[in-house]
Amino acid sequence: MHPDPVDNINHPVKARLISKLHNHEHVLREMQRYSRSRKDWSALPQSAHAANTINPIRRIADAVTVAANPNKSLIKLHLGDPTLTGALPPSNVAVDALVEATTSHMFDGYGPAVGALAAREAVAAKYSHPEAPINADDVILASGCSHALQMAIEGLANPGDNILIPQPGFPLYSTLCRPHGIEDRAYKVDMANGGQIDLEYLETLIDDRTQALIVNNPGNPTGVVFSKEHLQDILALASRHRLVIIADEIYGDLTYDGAVFHPIATLSPKVRFIFD
């Protein structure tokens, strides 16, 4: 019979080792007891980050339970997703390109984090303008415009900083700011004055922790398209305060009644922009 190795250890060291072993066994027993007693996993507390991540749009969309008139079709205007009603399906060109890319197995692995070069070149070719030229190196592909806004906000602001957002405006701006300790400061879009920004009031919101101004044109949900003159006034303010403009222009191709959309980056070579 082989002696226990512990028997060869001097007494004080042996005593400390046995004490540690007993403590370890006690901890294990307590963990097992806790694990057995914890049957309700719903008791897990949410993090402060999760508690601050609330999308106000869902509060409205999820609450729409009004029964449709059986004699009329219900037109839902609370979500900007025409595919929910079968409208605006992907074009055959897009579907064919997706099928070809999938079946060729040329793109099965991980691609560049900023997006495939060919795709970024195509985006640059579409949106480059003589007054605001861009190339593929200026383009980062995102998983939708909301993701692009998230990257822009997180890339510019730290906790304690603030971002200027329109009111009324896209509620997700606030959702993207608050979980990161970034203050969303709402400036007024004056609907009684043609939907123009109240620039005098906006200027009172700016301080040394203001990192960016979000300009949404055409407006969501207002539908307002800013005139060239109003955009130039906005640019003058941004230039004066050295403010980066996050230009949310996703509805630039969707205007009505002869309104003319002017990409804001084409109007000033001095102000810095991030646009989606």
User: Given this model, what pLDDT does residue 40 score?
Assistant: 61
Asked whether the CA dihedral 146, 152, 158, 160 is positive or negative, the reply is: negative
User: Given this model, what pLDDT does residue 48 score?
Assistant: 79
User: Given this model, what pLDDT does residue 169 score?
Assistant: 93
Instruction: Give how many domains the chain has, as a whole number.
Output: 2
User: Given this model, what pLDDT does residue 33 score?
Assistant: 64
User: Given this model, what pLDDT does residue 117 score?
Assistant: 95
One domain for residues 200 and 119: no
3-state SS record for 68-115: CCCCCCCCCCCCCCHHHHCCCCCCHHHHHHHHHHHHHCCCCCCCCCCC
User: Given this model, what pLDDT does residue 44 score?
Assistant: 73
| CA atoms of 274 and 276, how far apart (whole Å) | 7
User: Given this model, what pLDDT does residue 105 score?
Assistant: 93
User: Given this model, what pLDDT does residue 23 score?
Assistant: 62
One domain for residues 115 and 208: no
Angle at 252 between CA 168 and CA 113, to 5 degrees: 95
In a domain, 79, yes or no: no
In a domain, 244, yes or no: yes
pLDDT in tens, 184-238: 999 999 999 889 999 999 999 999 999 999 999 999 989 999 999 999 999 999 9
Token reading at 257:
């009644």
- Structural domain including 121 reads 107-141
In a domain, 118, yes or no: yes
Domain's final residue, options 93, 123, 141? 141
| CA atoms of 237 and 260, how far apart (whole Å) | 22
Q: Which residue has the tokens 């906790």?
A: 159
Would you say 170 and 220 are in contact if contact means Cβ atoms under 8 Å apart?
yes
One domain for residues 180 and 131: no
User: Given this model, what pLDDT does residue 56 score?
Assistant: 75
In a domain, 83, yes or no: no
Q: What are phi and psi of 20, to 5 degrees?
A: -65, -40
Domain's final residue, options 84, 117, 141? 141
User: Given this model, what pLDDT does residue 206 score?
Assistant: 98
One domain for residues 174 and 148: yes
Instruction: Report whether the peptide linkage leading into residue 56 is cis, meaning its omega lies within 30 degrees of zero.
Output: no
- Judged by DSSP in three states, 86 sits in coil
Question: For every one of its 276 residues, what pLDDT tens digit does the chain have, with 9 covering 90 and above?
Answer: 454 444 454 555 545 545 555 565 665 666 666 665 555 656 677 787 777 777 777 777 777 666 667 787 777 777 777 787 788 888 999 999 999 999 999 988 899 999 999 999 999 999 999 999 999 999 999 999 999 999 999 999 999 999 999 999 999 999 999 999 999 999 999 999 889 999 999 999 999 999 999 999 999 989 999 999 999 999 999 999 999 999 999 999 889 888 999 999 999 878 888 877
Q: What are phi and psi of 275, to 5 degrees?
A: -130, 150
Q: Which residues pair with 273 in a beta bridge?
A: 245
Token reading at 89:
């399906």
One domain for residues 162 and 265: yes
User: Given this model, what pLDDT does residue 273 score?
Assistant: 80
- Sort residue 223 into left (φ over 0), alpha (ψ -120 to 50) or beta: left
CATH number of the domain at 266, please.
Answer: 3.40.640.10
Token reading at 19:
């004490």
Please name the amino acid found at residue 38.
R
Distances (CA, A) of 24 to 45, 46, 48, 150, 169: 27, 30, 32, 45, 57
